[in-house]
Amino acid sequence: MRNLFSLRTKLIVAFMIVAALVGAVSVYQMQSINRFNALFTDLIDNDFHRLDQLETVRFYTFALEQQAFANIQDMANGETIDVAAERTALTALLQSMRNSENNYVVLLHDDSDKQNKSIGEITAKTEVLGALAGSILDQKVTPSRAELEKVEEELKVQRQELTQLLNAAIVNENREIRQEKAGADAATTRIINLNIVFAAATAAFALGLGLLVASLIARSLNKVKAGAERVANGDFSRSIDVTSHDEVGQLAQTFNDMAVRLRDSYNRLALERQRDEIMLESMSDGLIAINDEGHITLVNSKAAEMLDIETRSTLMGRPLDQELVVYDKNDKQLDPNYSPARAALDGGTPITDIFTYHKQGGSKIILNITMSPVGLEGKERGVIMVIRDVTREMQVDRMKTEFISLASHQLRTPLSAIKWFTEMLIAGDAGKLSSEQMDFAKNVADSTERMIQLVSSLLNISRMESGRIMIDPKPTDLHELVSGIVNDLKAKTVERRQNLVVSVHDGLPKVSLDARLIGQVYMNLLTNAIKYTPKGGEISVFVSRKGDELVSQVTDNGYGIPKAEHHKMFQKFFRAANVAKVETDGTGLGLYLIKAIIESSGGKIWFESEEGKGTTFWFSLPMSGMKAKEGEVTLDN
């Protein structure tokens, strides 16, 4: 159901009032015009017509007189008259006069005594005159001159009397006509005046009504506008006070609802903002945000503390490159053409790097800074930099590496002594040994060898973990690489009577690899295969290309790995239970190491194995090769 109070309804009502007024005026006008028309008709139909009749009678009066005089003249002159014709003519005249008089009577619709009386007299006099004029013609004998003159005189008198009566009547009629005309004029004037008044009144009313409606609507709309302005300025205190049920009222209501929701949103945002501020300020990392022009937009307190900034506000809007100068991780000048923040923004991915920062007092700290681009698609593009002071970390790391290097070196020295003296002992350089002595000495030698390898592995792992291992990829022929390793292990496979088969796919192109690192991988896998396969077993190596990956496979039919231990295989120092008893020689570090090598080369390593049946290891490397990496050390070997 339409809203009864809608603006449309109000406007329609207003228009209908005006239309009614106009209608009323029109009706009155029509009535006036009708009255006027009646008057006018009356005038034409009756008054002028009557006048016309009287004038006709007067005319015929003269005609009658003339005719009679003509007859009298003729008679007086002794001429003969065509009596019949004259009589006919006379009768015709008379009849015409009677007709007109009758018409006149008929036209006297309203009983005007005066006019009735006068027409009666006229009618009578007409008969008299007619009789007189006819009397001449009726004479059998020609009247004498004296008689003719008498009749002539009488005729004149009668005719004059009739004329007088007619004139009087005509005068009356004229007067009446003038009166009615005056009445008509008056009516006309009245109508015109009234029309003007009504038109003016209607116009004024319509204008007034229109203005009223408009101003009512405008007032309500202004209230809405004022309310909107208040909300735009953040003032949510008052609601819009429009309670009409029409569309404007609905608008106001809707607006009030919206204002409430907006206020709630503001409050929520303010709360979130507060929370964000607290988070930013209580972070243990420094945070600096820059816009896409490289100007600083935000610095949290931790960053200020880290970088010796006293007043953060002075940095706002300043270019980052000028305000915060950093050097590379070796404390050298950065390449002026390379801006990592810009690289992050343009590339769309976060960049992490290490920098050196010179503090106020002259001390230097190492910073790990991650630069993440934000707002890539639209406005508000910028970079958020998370800064971590890693000076201590670096120190600790360096200390650790130095320690391990030192420890390895220090450990190796006595180990070398043990190794060599034991070697000489076994060789008999200090005298022949009993079989038991030989046995003991060999045990010492074996254990020493294990320890030496353990130290090597530890050193390698420490190097891998500290990321200091260099990667030096060169185009490598896989066949050569694998064959070389297999050759080095020939002694072992021959000793254990194991069959080692190598199959490198024909036409495999050279792949960009660090031969030392990948060689280590093959060495480890093959050594394991040899060690964990009983004598007389079968070992095979397949290297082929699958899509954009180089896949290598090392399979043996040895002891296998129990299912329960599969998930631990790549853990440091882990050795599966079923082989640790059989083969004491093993550090449990080999797989951990080669997994690290493969994964840092962009590849994957996986295996399948069944206890008692055998094991197959696969590893993949991208055909595109390994990425070169600067480093300080290589694997120890």
Partner 1 sequence: MSKANPTIMVVEDETLLLQAITKKLKLTNLDVISCASGQQAIDYLGSLDEMPDAVWLDYYLKDMNGLAFMQALKEDPRWTNIPVLVVSNSASPDKVHNMLGLGAKKYILKAEYRLDEIIEMIRQFIQDDEGSGQSATPKPPSPQAGQ
List of residues contacting partner 1 (CB under 8 A): 405, 408-409, 412-417, 419-421, 423-424, 427, 429, 450, 452-457, 460, 470, 484-485, 488-489, 492, 516, 519-520, 523-525, 527-528, 531-532, 569, 574-576, 579, 585-591, 593, 632-637
Interior angle at CA 315, CA 311 and CA 320, nearest 5: 140
**Cβ 619 vs Cβ 536: under 8 Å:** no
H or E segment at 538? Answer: strand 538-546
Instruction: For partner 1, give the closer residue by CB, 307 or 523.
Output: 523
The partner residues of 356 in beta bridges, in order of sequence, read: 327, 366
163-177: buried (b, 16+ CB within 10 Å) or exposed (e) per residue?
A: bebbeebbebbeebb
Q: Which is nearer to partner 1, 276 or 488 (CB)?
A: 488
Q: How far is the CB of 413 from partner 1 (least distance, A)?
A: 6
Q: Which is nearer to partner 1, 92 or 417 (CB)?
A: 417
Distance of alpha carbon 402 from alpha carbon 397, whole angstroms: 8
Provide the minimum distance between the beta carbon of 562 and partner 1 in the complex, in angstroms, as a whole number.
Answer: 12
Strand ranges (E), 391-537: 474-476, 499-504, 511-513
**Residue nearer to partner 1 on the CB measure, 247 or 465:** 465
Distance CA(465)–CA(404), nearest Å, equals 12
Instruction: Provide, rounded to whole angstroms, the least separation between the CB of residue 502 and partner 1.
Output: 16
DSSP state of 506: T
Give least dist CB 452 to partner 1, A: 5
By C-beta, is 311 or 637 nearer to partner 1? 637
| Beta carbon nearer to partner 1, 237 or 637 | 637
3-state secondary structure 546-573: ECCEEEEEEEECCCCCCHHHHHHCCCCC
Least distance from partner 1 to the Cβ atom of residue 330, Å: 15
Long-range contacts of 266-270 (CB under 8 A, 24+ apart): 266/234, 266/236
Q: Which amino acid is at 342?
A: R
How far is 368 from 387, CA to CA, in rounded Å?
A: 6
How far apart are CB 551 and partner 1 at their closest, in Å? Answer: 21
| Both tokens assigned to 95 | 């009849």
CB of 476 vs partner 1, minimal distance in Å = 13
Q: How far is the CB of 342 from partner 1 (least distance, A)?
A: 34
Closer residue to partner 1 in complex, CB, 455/543: 455
Q: State how far Cα 447 lies from the chain centre.
A: 76
Measured from the CB atom, the residue of 319 and 414 that comes closer to partner 1 is 414
* Whole-number Å distance between alpha carbons of 364 and 325: 12
Task: Name the H helices within 78-144.
Answer: 83-106, 113-138
Q: Shortest distance, CB of residue 520 to partner 1, whole angstroms?
A: 5
Instruction: Please identify, using beta-carbon distances, which residue of 386 and 529 lies nearer to partner 1.
Output: 529
